Structure 1
């Protein structure tokens, strides 16, 4: 904790929230990951149907493509909600400090 901050100041609470990674400030929500995964799987499925209709060739590994896109979307949602928002908060504080 910086020496110039008082124990009960808002600045100190903000500083502690950014320094403590286990704080409840930015946690991933399962519902967000689930919705992103479902949407990505649906989009991948619709894209495969459109490609099959346009080219006439059936898509190979349909389940694998749908599953991979759903897993990637869930992982990216988790990453953005935890690390990405922490990074944006840190950058915002740096800009306010200048």
Structure 2
């Protein structure tokens, strides 16, 4: 499974726009991390609150997480103003493991 994170907007929008997506591949992670990532992805995809962008807000950051698992691709999009807890947990984990 491959998970990528793209960030748009916010105060640093001109800088963030040029950054490449952050990418994690479960084949490259230790087994415990790969299992945790799969658990977080399952929780975030089951929670529809993490799959819808928030209404526009000044300086809001929008996060897009794309999950490619074999031939299936899922895209979740949310903003820092309205993300579900499950989406936030996945986002935090991906950010921590790609920095």
TM superposition score normalised by structure 1? 0.28
Greater CA radius of gyration, 1 or 2? Answer: 1
TM superposition score normalised by structure 2? 0.28
